[in-house]
Amino acid sequence: RWAHIPVKIVPGSPDNVKLTWARDIAMADQRLSGERVRFPDIRTGNGYDVHAFEPGDHVTLCGVAIAHDKKLSGHSDADVGLHALTDALLATCGAGDIGTHFPPSDPQWKGAASRIFVEHAAKLVRARGGRIANADITLICEAPRVGPHREAMTAALSQMLAITPDRISIKATTNEKLGFVGREEGIAAIATASVVFPGEVPE
């Protein structure tokens, strides 16, 4: 106006922030990064294990000893639930499988408690910055009954994984009398673990 030049007024926008000081730029960067679409690095691993029965007086499932007229045959305590979970956890960070870390040819693992394997896998996950979101185990057997021991199993896993019980699921099903499980020749287990790692999924 002072220069006698016509002035035109146009609608403004709150998104058009005036950048004057270094703090203005930092705040704008923070705002823009918050609006960017993020792809969190959430990984899921699964594991499967099976052990045959042999003469005995109990089985160990998910860290709990259950009286039974047979036991599971294996190099360690043959806990199929924990073996499957170990593989699921290792899968989330590409760390091989249970045999990679605890080979059955190594005599030091003879009769070992399988919680050692789970705690080792959880430690590897956390060393890579991972946070265990949940663990889900399905035990497949005709006997023994799992329901009465579910609470104790959940408590044992909560301690091994250092997560709350509500992030742990233990289920059981029969094989409808089909196959080796149906003939009560052994027990199988399937496990799934979800772990959140730092950063984002790369493009």
Q: Give the contacts of 60 (CB within 8 A, at least 6 positions apart).
A: 66, 72, 77, 78, 79, 114
Determine the pLDDT at residue 33.
Answer: 74
Determine the pLDDT at residue 36.
Answer: 67
Determine the pLDDT at residue 71.
Answer: 96
Strand pairing class (131-140; 168-173): parallel
Residue 144 lies in a domain: yes
Nearest alpha carbon to residue 114 among 150, 56, 160, 147: 160
What CA–CA distances, in Å, run from 117 to 90, 161, 185, 193?
A: 10, 11, 25, 15
- When divided into structural domains, the chain yields a total of 1
Residue 22 lies in a domain: no
Residue 140 lies in a domain: yes
The CATH number of residue 176's host domain is 3.30.1330.50
Joined together, the tokens standing for residue 96 give 């091989």
Residue 4 lies in a domain: no
In tens digits, the chain (203 residues) has pLDDT values of 889 999 998 888 887 888 999 998 888 887 877 666 778 999 999 999 999 999 999 999 999 999 999 999 998 999 999 999 999 999 999 999 999 999 988 999 999 999 999 999 999 999 999 999 999 999 999 999 999 999 999 999 999 999 999 999 999 999 999 999 999 999 999 999 999 999 888 88
Residue 5 lies in a domain: no
Residue 157 lies in a domain: yes
CA angle 116, 151, 177 (to 5 degrees): 90
Residue 53 lies in a domain: yes
**Containing structural domain, residue 55:** 40-200
Residue 18 lies in a domain: no
